[in-house]
Amino acid sequence: MQHDARPELLEISDLRIGFGSASVVDGVSLSLAAGETLGIVGESGCGKSILSLSILGLLPSGARITSGSIRLEGRDLTRMSAKDLRGLRGDRISMVFQEPMTALNPVLTIGSQLSEVFRVHRQVSRREARAMSIEALRAVGVASPETRIRNYPAQLSGGMRQRVMIAMALACRPQILIADEPTTALDVTIQAQILDLMRNLRREYDTSVLFISHDLGVIAEVSDRVAVLYSGIVVEEAPTAELFSNPQHPYTRGLLDALPQPDAETLPDVLFEIPGMVPAPESRPTGCRFHPRCPLARNICRTTQPPMTRIGPDHRVACWEVAK
């Protein structure tokens, strides 16, 4: 990839993930450079979360990687043993999940769950792990962390639980942080605080971030580059500013048109929406997967999948309108 002079940290090549007889992720190739934030955007059902779980070796029962590779500094994670993958999780690669209430254990205190990360990956004593946990909570803006570590998840607000998840994910200064819709369940004020926190921590720790969202407005705030997923494949990838100023794929344009424009002089009577919905993996159309919802679809779109076309040094698109 030409997108950055920094070394590639993570490289996903032609990755395919099967679930039963269908391919949920169907030939995705992406890379993440050291210190970079890559945004992955798309509607529900496009394969974003399954892609992120595959990196950590946490695919749900019934799902499996059928081909391709996921390389961390050249080492293929798809060929690692379960034991070696466990050693990576929480240490070199961490994840912040969408809903912290289901990700945190409700019967254990915040302190015991944070301490476990340090005890497993840093082999420290209970006393040292407790002190490190307090500092980790303080780093993410949790007030009175000495008291909070004795709380259970249900005693914390949604925003506070998400801060705990971020503290846990960043506890061991991972090289890569995967954030899967980390602000979706939060109100807009808390969402802004969490995004600011993640930006500051990324700068402080020089962590690479894979930020997954269905919200292009959030992606615009945090990402250096954006990959747009649709029905298991990448349909467009570009630097964030380029994608927003010069979107080429009709699906990307549709997502952008669907963003509310509160600063517009006149507001539309009806907000824009992309007609139809993402097809299920087992019932995808032939040709371009977006053609049943696309206003520009032609005959070739209905019969032949478009190639990925490079239209600039860092901008690539899979669309017959661009390839013609």
Encoded tokens for 276:
């139809």
Among 127-131, 204-208, 239-243, name the one with the lowest average pLDDT.
204-208
Q: pLDDT at residue 188 above 90?
A: no
How far is Cα 137 from Cα 117, in angstroms, rounded to an integer?
A: 13
Q: Is 294 helix (H, G, I), strand (E, B) or coil?
A: coil
Q: pLDDT at residue 230 above 90?
A: yes
Encoded tokens for 120:
């497993």
Q: pLDDT at residue 175 above 70?
A: yes
Query: What's the rounded mean pLDDT across residues 76-104?
Result: 86
Task: Read off the pTM.
Answer: 0.89
pLDDT for residue 262: 62
Among 73-82, 253-262, 293-302, name the one with the lowest average pLDDT.
253-262
Contacts of 248 (CB under 8 A, 6+ apart): 236, 311, 315, 317, 319, 321, 322
- Which pLDDT band, with edges at 50, 70 and 90, does 179 fall under? very high
Q: pLDDT at residue 291 above 90?
A: yes
- Which pLDDT band, with edges at 50, 70 and 90, does 231 fall under? very high
**Among candidates 39, 67, 41, which has minimal Cα distance to 54?**
67
Average pLDDT, the chain: 90
pLDDT for residue 265: 61
**Among candidates 70, 100, 278, 266, which has minimal Cα distance to 176?**
70
Q: Which CATH architecture has domain 8-92+174-323?
A: 3-Layer(aba) Sandwich (3.40)
Amino acid at 122: R
pLDDT for residue 260: 73
CATH 3.40.50.300, the chain: domain bounds: 8-92+174-323
pLDDT for residue 263: 60
